[in-house]
Amino acid sequence: MAVLVTGGAGYIGSHMVYALADAGEEVVVLDNLSTGFWWAISPAARLVEGDIGDEALLGQLTRDHKFDAIIHFAGSIVVPESVSDPLAY
């Protein structure tokens, strides 16, 4: 099964990526690395550095991989920043 994990370089997403990879699934991680870390991702997964708002990138990924599932962990969660710059959220 091919799975896209958005935000897969973050704390929770990276644990899901390891679980999927350990189960033998094909895993592609889409993350902009703004708060995640490339080294947190299972070496068995493919990292694509990019933003979930990039429609062309998402279209290309879905055409290339024919995902069976998408698991969405991407998001911004810094409360003080969301108050000071609400339009970014």
Tens-place pLDDT, residues 9-33: 999 999 999 999 999 999 999 999 9
Return the amino acid letter for 78: V
pLDDT number for residue 43: 98
With CA atoms as reference, report the closest residue to 8 among 44, 47, 66: 47
**For residue 59, pLDDT beyond 90:** yes
Task: Give pLDDT tens digits for 30-43.
Answer: 999 998 999 999 99
Give CA–CA dist 19/46, Å, rounded.
14
Burial, 25: exposed, middle or buried (Cβ in 10 Å; 0-12, 13-18, 19+)? middle
What's the 3-state SS for the chain? CEEEEECCCCHHHHHHHHHHHHCCCEEEEEECCCCCCHHHCCCCCEEEECCCCCHHHHHHHHHHHCCCEEEECCCCCCHHHHHHCHHHC
pTM above 0.85, yes or no: yes
